[in-house]
Copies of this chain bind each other. A is one copy, B any other.
Amino acid sequence: MSSVGTFSLGASEGSSEKIVINVSGVKHETHKSTLMTLPGSRLAKLVDTEKPPSEFFFDRNPEVFAHVLQYYRSGKLHCPTNLCGLLLEEEFAFWGVSDTDVEPCCWATFRQNKDTVEALAQIKHLVEPGQNDQSSNSRAWQQKIWALFDNPYSSITAKVIAIISLFFILLSITAFSLQTEHIYLSQSHQLWTGNSSKNFAETFPVKSLDMVEIVCSIWFMIEFVMRAVSCPSKCRFFMNVMNIVDLLALFPLFFRWCSSMYCCKMMGFLHIMRCIRVFRIFKLMQHVFGVRVLNHALRASATTLCTVPLVLFICTLIFGTMIYYAEVDSNDFHFINIPSCFWWAVVTLTTVGYGDMIPISGQGKLVGFLCAMVGVLLIVLPVPIIVNNFIKFSSLVKTKYSMPRKKEKNSVDAVLSSSA
């Protein structure tokens, strides 16, 4: 290359020795003075001698080095968007450039893939549920029974057990809801007519419903005991909310014999106990995939999502107070105190609008107008919060499924350990 007629520009004349840096075949030329702008870095140390060689060879990524060299020139570390952030991180580390020097404008780009990898590691249990629950120190029969009752996809017997369990849950809830009708009827009947002549006729269905309930309870007890005994980690088993619900839902069975005597007294306590039974229905959701994605998205947006009840609560207070003072002078006997006004505010804000309390006066209707309008906006508030996370999780789950298995484990671990 002839240097005849060469025109050079861009550096102070004092140290304008040209240095060639051959990175994997791509020859970058720059001035020595440029490389000296970052004194602590690898290149600065190399050229900081009396007579540096005119060419350096590095077997590294030439495309990333172009950006590193630009950092030497301009003092600003911008990242290209077409290269993976993890690759940039590795190369930056080699050239002695700190991650924290990345400009704010390019930071999101730089972090993006690292975040993706971390998020993929987090949703691992979502895609392969129950895999990590089995610790190796439990015995073989324990593991077999645990798989039988906990993972319906493990075998055909497990699937049959899951379907039986589901059948008993639905049967139990049906019996439970039909039963209440009779309890109420017999109670109110005695209250009103005073006699119990019709009691005999109603005894039969009540008895049969009792029978169904006892059978269901026995099944649930067996299932609970089996799961409790075979569970690899007793501690985590009793920390699980679903298992506590299972246990509490069994209580009415034990209290049955005693409660028949002094039925009316413990009514309140038993009501709550019976109420718990209906939460068993949550089991139904455990094995539906869509619910799991949604559940994850909802949990991720929980901190932001909890603002919705808060805003609703505050709006209830404000509109409840406003409607009270707006209707206090009219002859409307609905808005007699602020707590009942809160009920009106809730019913209007959620746009349910039962119609049991309706403002009559002009200013009351104005408050009603404002309240309904705010309500419409309130309904819309949680949309972006969930949309955001749901779309993110959906694409992550899709990526996870389409990804080949073999490399996954070690590379994710490597990223996580390097970021720790």
Alpha-carbon distance between A102 and B408 when the two chains are bound, in angstroms = 10
Interface presence of A171 (CB below 8 A): no
Contact pattern, A 385-410, Cβ under 8 Å of B = 1, otherwise 0:
11110110011000100111011100
Inter-subunit contact A59/B82 (CB<8 Å): no
Inter-subunit contact B78/A80 (CB<8 Å): no
Chain B residue with Cβ nearest A309: B373
Binds B, one of A104-112, A213-221, A248-256: A104-112
* Cβ 8 A contact of A54, one of B5, B106, B343: B5
Q: Which range contains the number of A residues in contact with the other chain?
A: 35 or more
Inter-subunit contact A304/B294 (CB<8 Å): yes
List 13 contacting pairs A-B, 8 Å CB cutoff, sorted by A: A3-B55, A9-B57, A9-B59, A76-B411, A78-B84, A104-B120, A105-B113, A188-B336, A274-B325, A346-B373, A377-B382, A379-B380, A384-B386
What chain B residues lie within 8 Å of A229 (beta carbons)? Answer: none
Closest beta carbon of chain B to A192's beta carbon, Å: 11
Query: A177 and B339 in contact (CB under 8 A), knowing A100-B404, A103-B411, A383-B386?
Result: yes
Inter-subunit contact A285/B303 (CB<8 Å): no
Interface presence of A142 (CB below 8 A): no
Inter-subunit contact B84/A105 (CB<8 Å): yes
Binds B, one of A143-151, A153-161, A314-322: A314-322
Residue of A2, A84, A111, A289 contacting most chain B CB atoms (<10 Å):
A84
What chain B residues lie within 8 Å of A296 (beta carbons)? Answer: none
Alpha-carbon distance between A330 and B339 when the two chains are bound, in angstroms = 18
Chain B residue with Cβ nearest A98: B404
Interface presence of A347 (CB below 8 A): yes
Interface presence of A117 (CB below 8 A): yes
Binds B, one of A127-135, A230-238, A348-356: A348-356
